[in-house]
Homo-oligomer: A and B are copies of this chain.
Amino acid sequence: MEYRVDVRPLGAQLVSSSEEDLLTTFHSAGIGVESICGGIGSCAKCRIHILEGMTSDPTPQEEDQLSAEQLARGVRLACQVHPESDLSIYIPASSLTSEQKMQLDSELEVESPEPAVLSCELEVEIPTAPGDPGSDLYRVEKALRATAPEVEIRSVDLAGLRGISPLLREGKGKVSALVRGKELLGLAPAGSFPLGLAVDLGSTKVALFLYDLSRGILIASRGFLNPQVPYGEDIVTRIQHAVEGGASQLQELVVQGINDNLSVMLAEIDRDRSDIYEMVLVGNTAMHHLFLALPVEQLGKSPYLPATDIPQEVKARDLGIELSAAAVVYLPPPIAGYVGSDHLAAVAAARLWERPGPCLLLDIGTNTEVALQTDGHIRSCSCASGPAFEGGGLSQGMRAGDGAVEGVSIDPGSGKAQLTVVGGAPPVGICGSGILGTLAALAAAGIIDSSGRIREGRPGTERRDKELVYYLVPAGEESTTGVAVTQNDIREIQKAKGAIRAGIDALMAEAGLGNEDLREIILAGAFGTYIDPAAALSIALLPPVALDRIKQVGNAAGAGARSMLLSIAIRRQAEELASRLEYLELSAYPGLSTLFAASMYLSEDAVREAKSRFRI
């Protein structure tokens, strides 16, 4: 018999047969699933989850390698299991070969999910004759105590309470109880699987990740543009809009955006929003405040005070987020006005506190958050790096769309540039990674000196309206206007890189560390993913470490939100971390301006020399 096998999260549709084990099916289809033992069931590397459908019974090898609880949850070894109906299966990232993993980007791995919301299957007796006192809730609690003695109920959500009596009778006493901490959220029909939503609320992009909480499986994800963008590209403009009376509009926009995009996701997988019992949201402090409709006036002016810096749990209904009526939204704590819960989430995703330190984590953007871990202790700061790395304030800066220069090398002799352009289109401007690459290439080719000054008369340079410029693309050839970098552009980029490096050096100084002590640098976020670490080192954006000690981890904030959704242990660790994290307010840091001036130099030697000159 042949059966269809729907493979998640890859989206592949395969055909298998009852004669064939699934590992063979995957390998025939070119899906790289790990197997060390060669398919004899002894290495347990090829674990998969059966989501739907019937399969052969577990083999003795599987019973050896997997716990009864894992088997009950549908975990199997691909090399041992044969289909006996059409199947829907899930391959966790840990079972994929590294090449396949890359495709999944920051697919998060949770071997044993430990979500805040638990589902317990109950059989509740419903009396039909008088004489046996006690309420419907009393009987649910009694059944719950028998099934899950570790659960202690202290309160019942009112919306959930309203559903108990009818659900008990509809299910003839067979129901799933949804419990979150000491709160009974309510009942659901027997066999329900609670879902959870992780949200990374960026100023520009919003990412939604929908999980099956019991199995820790990502079942859908979706990104969309933050609908607040028309009211301000940057945080400062958006805060101003809120202060001028637009606060509830901004809150409703993002809530509506989440609701609408969630609808699309749910329709695709045929699930209902009433199955979602928890949402975890991370974002910078302004996004966090605007989402909760907290006041932002005090956040928008010095000393940039957040209204709160503790974790917040809110009923989704209080925010207008449409999930299960009893659902809770959990927001990890912001750290400071310019260090948000997204930074905390990134630190949590990287498990920064467990890494051999001293190590740095950077999320580069208009504000660049930096965390330095040493001996398990974490210091953080926010650097006002400005929009230059996103193309802002530059004469030909642009976002990474078609025609954006993203990679640059310059021949020192001819001064001619070799470019990589997004979409292979004719070049029209320069995006973030191209900007950093241009600076490094100009310095390497000697067209600019270590102070950033364009050397007059070098090939490729010319004076335009009294200002020295360097043409990456001369006017008239591929592009009518050409693509140029002006002296002023270089200053703007230097300021951005100087602000970041000064923040790093201030944290290092606070920790009593020198450059030689640093063991690792983790680059998070979109910009950190795309830049060339060698270029970042060559212009002294980053302190000197061996190139292989720089790790690019992608959307760590989103990964952190997801790990906090799937693990209350990680959530507690992050909260605990937030309470002892040492925040360094750079604007009050003595000697920052001198440190900033030194940090603008474009080589490690020049930075060091400037520091000694300035007696830092």
Contacts and interface: CB of A to CB of B under 8 A. Distances in A.
A294 B163 CA distance: 8
Contacts of A302: 128-130
A312 interface: yes
Interface in A155-200: 155-156, 158, 161-162, 164-166, 169
A468 to B, nearest CB: 37
A306 interface: yes
B130 A161 contact: no
Nearest to A128: B303
A576 B294 CA distance: 39
A155 B313 contact: yes
B136 A308 contact: yes
A307 B164 contact: yes
Contact of A169 (B169, B298, B587): B298
A137 interface: yes
A134 interface: yes
Interface string A138-166: 10000000000000000110100110111
A136 B304 CA distance: 10
Contact of A307 (B131, B132, B165): B165
Contacts of A354: none
B158 A307 contact: no
Interface string A285-324: 0000000111101100011111111101111011000000
Given A292-B158, A294-B162, A298-B165, A131 B313 contact: no
Interface in A326-360: 334, 336
Contact of A132 (B132, B303, B318): B303
Given A129-B302, A133-B583, A303-B130, A309 B138 contact: yes
A135 interface: yes
A309 B169 contact: no
B307 A130 contact: no
Interface string A105-139: 00000000000000000000001111111111110
Given A133-B585, A310-B156, A305 B127 contact: yes
Interface string A242-268: 000000000000000000000000000
Given A294-B162, A295-B162, A137 B588 contact: no
Given A294-B165, A312-B156, A314-B158, A307 B585 contact: no
A57 B138 CA distance: 56
Contact of A133 (B162, B169, B336): B336
Sort chain A's interface into a size bin.
35 or more
A135 B306 contact: yes
Contact of A303 (B129, B158, B162, B165): B129
A166 to B, nearest CB: 6
A608 to B, nearest CB: 28
Contact of A135 (B135, B158, B166, B307): B307
Nearest to A302: B130
Nearest to A138: B309
Given A155-B313, A165-B294, A131 B303 contact: yes
A127 B587 CA distance: 14
Contact of A161 (B134, B169, B292, B304): B292
Given A136-B298, A161-B308, A318-B158, A588 B130 contact: yes
A293 B134 CA distance: 19
Contacts of A134: 305, 309
Contacts of A297: 165-166
A309 B165 contact: no
Contact of A588 (B129, B161, B293, B305): B129
A304 B131 CA distance: 10
B162 A293 contact: yes
A134 B162 CA distance: 40
Interface in A573-592: 583, 585, 587-588
Most-contacted residue by chain B among A130, A297, A309, A588 (CB, 10 A): A130
Contacts of A585: 130-133
A129 B307 CA distance: 16
Contacts of A336: 133
A135 B309 contact: yes
A165 B128 contact: no
A182 to B, nearest CB: 12
Nearest to A319: B158
Nearest to A141: B310
Nearest to A582: B133
A292 B137 CA distance: 15
A509 B307 CA distance: 62
Contacts of A308: 135-138, 156, 161, 164
A309 B336 CA distance: 44
Given A305-B127, A307-B137, A336-B133, A161 B298 contact: no
Interface of A: 127-138, 155-156, 158, 161-162, 164-166, 169, 292-295, 297-298, 302-310, 312-315, 317-318, 334, 336, 583, 585, 587-588
Given A156-B312, A315-B318, 17 more contacts: A129-B302, A129-B303, A130-B303, A130-B588, A131-B303, A132-B585, A135-B306, A135-B309, A155-B313, A158-B312, A158-B314, A161-B307, A161-B308, A162-B295, A164-B307, A165-B294, A317-B318
9 contacts: A131-B585, A131-B588, A156-B308, A158-B292, A161-B292, A161-B307, A165-B298, A166-B297, A315-B318
